[in-house]
Structure 1
Amino acid sequence: MANSKHAHLRYNILDNCFRKRTYNFEQLLNVLNSQIELHYPNESISTRTLREDLKVFRDKKNGFGAPLPDKARVLKYSDSNFSIAQRPLLEYEQYLIDAGRQLLERFENHPKYEKLAEALIKFQDEEDQQENDAIQILYYDHNEEYKGIRFLKPLYLAIKKKQVLQVTFQGFNDTISNTFEFHPHILKQYNRRWFVYGFNKTKGIKEWSVPLDDRLIDFKVKEKHDYVTSNTSWEAFFRTMVGVVRVKGALVEKVVLRFHNGRESYFKTKPFQPDYEEFFEEEKQNQVWFETIINKELVQQILSYGRDVEVLEPENLKVQLTEHSNVMQHYYNK
């Protein structure tokens, strides 16, 4: 068994190296130690530890069974699509997961444990199916076509390290890509997709959003550039909008909705605007109101209720819903 100290970190670094380019043994050792130094200053591994790690990668029974040619002078996966993320957990990794779950049980009644508990249950369910052909128990909302998740960790680390990025982006309707200087500040998830917000220095816009999907072609760190921190109150920024699109200069307006067929109860269990208010009047018990900007995501959420919701205020939002209704009516009256 390889040296277990920081083994999970070493394996991830090696996996990334083997997928991207070829290395000889000395180059690989240097890259590995430089990466370990970033996370654990003044620490490194020996030649012997790296040799043991390579055995773990090649071992088909107790390791990853990686397509790493034996006795080759250069080290790189022969199958570029392979990743250790596709392989079951090693014994020591399963031990760490189990120990972590037992530790987190101490926080079982604390709100901060809730999402961790959900993530661990999902993880365990998938591992049981993979290893034991167990019956699937959890069926959760998952976007299988979403590939933007690969950007999440690098952007998270860029924000923590206050790094300036050069982003290459191409919209769905763009014929060519464009590049801009970007100072990332926060990450937000909406509708099973992630978005990064920050300062687009090229355009001079402080609250610029970039979706983490196929439109984000690439990004790289711009060294020796001063990072501009954000003075935006992101909590307030998002509480006055539905979704992720905020047109520059958009005004916050009061929206009043009337629900039909008892659908107000459903809205109250899962409101798309958390700061909604109810009316005290008896005849308005099927109505709610909230303050927000008017954007496409708000319209989409209202439309999701179909004929069971009616916009009472403001007038410009009523006009938008009327236009949507007329177009849809045209579709079905041809």
Structure 2
Amino acid sequence: MASNKNALIRYKTIDQCLRNTFRRWVLDDLIEACSDALYEYEGKDVYVSKRTVQLDIQMMRSDKLGYNAPIEVYQRKFYRYAEEDYSIMNIPVTDHDIKIMNESIQILRQFKDFSLFKEMNGVIERLEDSVYANEKDNIPIIHLEKNDQLKGLEHIDRLYHAIQNKQVLKMAYKSFKARSESEILIHPQLLKEFNNRWFLLALGNKRKLLTTFALDRIVSIHNSEEDIVYIDQHIDGDIYYKDVIGVTVSENVVPELVKFKIDNRNAPYVITKPFHTSQETISKDELGTTFTIKVQINFELERVILGFGDTIEVLAPERLRTRIHGKLKRALERYE
């Protein structure tokens, strides 16, 4: 359980204790109550120190969380609320809070037809009703790109829960190059979205290699009937994809320094939206701005470069420059 969730449970527990005015509460009582509450949520003993509860009380008294709880000590050892009817659960929602929540609701509403968020429909509707009923029909002023016609979205929920529950799956898959579908056993690890398409990173059961599968090429998914122990690779997406653009990762390929030049008219677009987090600006002259990125050379990188057409020139490495030149030459031949 995340530490911030533990803290919220402790705040709520301390609040419940202090609202019970039929009992006098010393610090040890509050510590015991917090320990019991965390045990109930965690299912195991959780150590709550004296210092932790003292800091919790200090936090509740402050305005950092908006509580400003009137917690006082009387007879030098007992804790109580100075205001009899006070509770942190009764904190009023301000107009600013309502405005922020409404803006968030408008964003969430755009995901209501997306398979992963289907279960949130009722939650969003209840938020709309309880937060600000007269805002319900407002047109969203933030529009997120999505394509409801994408194939494969129906698999997201199944894959999400398989990863969460560490299940081995039998998947029927047909790549664009394959003549027929094939069935494979996989250990699903991570769902990845790129360029408005969804992909699954999974470990093959036989070869034990991480492979990327496009969700729109998945024919069917079923739970494995074989008695196979799920292998968790503990994939951190930020680390796994840190050296690539897109989803194609080659585990034995070393990232290379890619050098390219963008004309001055289009350079601001690349400066404000870098190709990659490693991007650096090297120089600028009357012909354009030169950048470098350190990435694996893959299909997605080539697509990004080709997307800039005649406004970009690859300077290094030479093999990437030659490959892009060949693609542009063949493209030109189609128009001649």
TM tier relative to shorter chain: 0.5 to 0.7
In structure 1, give the amino acid aligned to 2:180.
I
Distance 2:246 2:277 in 1: 12
- Whether 1:189 aligns to 2:193 is yes
2:107 and 2:142 in contact (8 A); partners too: no
TM-superposed CA distance for 1:282, in Å, is 5.4
The one of 220, 230, 235 equivalent to 1:218 is 220
Q: Which residue of 2 aligns with 1:323?
A: 326
* Cα 1:308–1:147 shift into 2, 3 Å: same
Deviation readout 1:273-305 (Å, 9 max, x if unpaired)? 1221122x5549712111111111100101111
Distance 1:247 1:171 in 2: 18
Secondary structure of the equivalent of 1:286?
strand
Secondary structure of the equivalent of 2:166?
coil
* Cα 1:116–1:287 shift into 2, 3 Å: farther
Distance 1:249 1:120 in 2: 40
Q: Which residue of 2 aligns with 1:158?
A: 162
Secondary structure of the equivalent of 2:258?
strand
TM-superposed CA distance for 1:256, in Å, is 1.0
- Whether 1:204 aligns to 2:208 is yes
Q: Which residue of 2 aligns with 1:12?
A: none
* Cα 1:124–1:143 shift into 2, 3 Å: closer
Q: Which residue of 2 aligns with 1:228?
A: 231
- Whether 1:304 aligns to 2:292 is no
* Cα 1:108–1:269 shift into 2, 3 Å: farther
TM-superposed CA distance for 1:116, in Å, is 5.5
* Cα 1:238–1:136 shift into 2, 3 Å: closer
* Cα 1:139–1:158 shift into 2, 3 Å: same
1:183 and 1:200 in contact (8 A); partners too: yes
Distance 1:323 1:204 in 2: 36
Q: Which residue of 2 aligns with 1:79?
A: none
TM-superposed CA distance for 1:315, in Å, is 0.7
TM-superposed CA distance for 1:121, in Å, is 5.1
Q: Which residue of 2 aligns with 1:122?
A: 110
Distance 1:180 1:135 in 2: 45
Mean CA deviation greater in 256-265 or 159-168: 256-265
2:187 and 2:203 in contact (8 A); partners too: yes
Q: Which residue of 1 aligns with 2:153?
A: 149
Distance 2:98 2:256 in 1: 40
2:107 and 2:140 in contact (8 A); partners too: no
2:163 and 2:190 in contact (8 A); partners too: yes
Distance 1:108 1:137 in 2: 13
1:122 and 1:138 in contact (8 A); partners too: no
1:262 and 1:286 in contact (8 A); partners too: no
Mean CA deviation greater in 285-294 or 246-255: 246-255
TM-score computed with the length of structure 1 as normaliser: 0.58
1:198 and 1:230 in contact (8 A); partners too: no
In structure 1, give the amino acid aligned to 2:151.
K
Secondary structure of the equivalent of 1:316?
helix
Distance 1:227 1:253 in 2: 34
1:164 and 1:226 in contact (8 A); partners too: yes
1:166 and 1:219 in contact (8 A); partners too: yes
Mean CA deviation greater in 230-239 or 288-297: 230-239
Give the RMSD, CA atoms, in angstroms. 3.6
Distance 2:266 2:327 in 1: 21
